[in-house]
Amino acid sequence: MTLGVIGLGLIGGSLALDLKRRGFASKVLGVENDTVAAQAALTIGLADEIVPYETCVEKADIIVVAVPVGTAVKMVPEILDKIGPEQLVIDVCSTKSQICHAVKYHPKRQQFVSTHPMAGTEYSGPWAAQPGLFDGRACIFANTEESAPKAVKTIEEMYGVLNMRPTYMNADQHDVHTAYVSHISHVTSFALALTVLDKEKDEKHIFDLASGGFASTVRLAKSNADMWVPILTQNRDNVLHVMDTYIDKMQQFRDAVANIDEDKIRELIEEANRIKRILR
């Protein structure tokens, strides 16, 4: 099986790496427009060859679109236009509604499977790719009823090789849920970094005093703008809704601190502690 991966960054690169190592793909054709990243991907061994986009679309049995979601929304219908009846296309984007809408009435819609492997780090580029990135994590399959059952089965097998747990969901529901458990976390980290950088002029002290807690809370603020600008704009309505709730909670907390209302602060903290029941 020849795997084509368009975009050899953190997700595309890690996926290529494990699918080749674990024998699912006999050959990986990579597409990477950035020449430095392309050379790095070859050196690291993420792909067997770097090929032009057209070659990948022509030759790969499964084409993985692993580019920022703004680009993917335009690219997936174009690829569907060109592929033969046995080829499959998947995307791995973090928002699902727009991409599913973009291909909804495409005559080859059944050859497309929309997925979101819920794994990653705050780093990007081929140098961020790592083996084992997906093991044990959830992979969302969106709107599978619009794909051919055989296509879904093949892609389930592919993610099975990556040891991912499949979860099935409507694309719109996906975008609501990820606004809560992924997108808002990124926004809160960005805002935290902005706050600290803005106020803490003496950068040495940030480094000196940063305990593990700060580092883990601000970690996602290292995330890449190319990826996150389209996610936040495509998922605007859901993200806004969560941000407004968040600002409201923060304001409640602020007022409790301002009023030195110990009972209210305790109540808020103990309510927040309930997250323990859900996350280890």
Q: Which of residues 195-254 bind its own copies (CB under 8 A)?
A: 195-200, 203, 205-225, 228-229, 232-233, 236, 239-240, 242-247, 249-251, 253-254
The one-letter amino acid code at 213 reads G
182 secondary structure, DSSP code: I
Rounded to a whole number of angstroms, the minimum distance from the CB of residue 27 to its own copies is 30
Rounded to a whole number of angstroms, the minimum distance from the CB of residue 113 to its own copies is 18
Q: Which is nearer to its own copies, 71 or 110 (CB)?
A: 71
SS3 call for 274: helix
Residues 135-154 that bind its own copies (CB under 8 A): 137-138, 140
Report in angstroms the alpha-carbon separations of 87 from 28, 41, 159, 178, 217: 15, 24, 17, 29, 42
Q: Which two tokens stand for residue 189?
A: 């980290």
Residues 169-198 that bind its own copies (CB under 8 A): 177-178, 180-182, 184-198
Q: At what angle do helices 236-258 and 184-199 cross, to 10 degrees?
A: 50
Residues 249-278 that bind its own copies (CB under 8 A): 249-251, 253-254, 257-258, 260, 262, 265-266, 268-278
Rounded to a whole number of angstroms, the minimum distance from the CB of residue 30 to its own copies is 24
Q: Which is nearer to its own copies, 33 or 245 (CB)?
A: 245
How far is the C-alpha of 7 from the C-alpha of 46, rounded, in Å? 11
Q: Which is nearer to its own copies, 4 or 126 (CB)?
A: 126
The residues, any chain, with a CB within 8 Å of residue 234's CB and separated by 6 or more, are 69, 70, 73, 95, 97, 98
Rounded to a whole number of angstroms, the minimum distance from the CB of residue 112 to its own copies is 22
Q: Which is nearer to its own copies, 21 or 214 (CB)?
A: 214
Rounded to a whole number of angstroms, the minimum distance from the CB of residue 94 to its own copies is 10
Q: Which is nearer to its own copies, 32 or 175 (CB)?
A: 175
- Count of residues of this chain found to bind its own copies when the rule CB under 8 A is applied: 91
What is the rounded (10 degree) CA torsion for 251, 256, 260, 262? Answer: -150
Nearest to 73 by CA among 89, 84, 88, 87: 89
DSSP output for 110-171? GGEEEEEE----S--SGGG--TTTTTT-EEEEE-GGGS-HHHHHHHHHHHHHTTPEEEEE-H
Q: Which is nearer to its own copies, 82 or 236 (CB)?
A: 236
Of 55, 71, 167, 170, the residue at the interface with its own copies (CB under 8 A) is 167
Residues 90-119 that bind its own copies (CB under 8 A): 118-119
Rounded to a whole number of angstroms, the minimum distance from the CB of residue 32 to its own copies is 22
Is there binding between residue 66 and its own copies (CB under 8 A)?
no
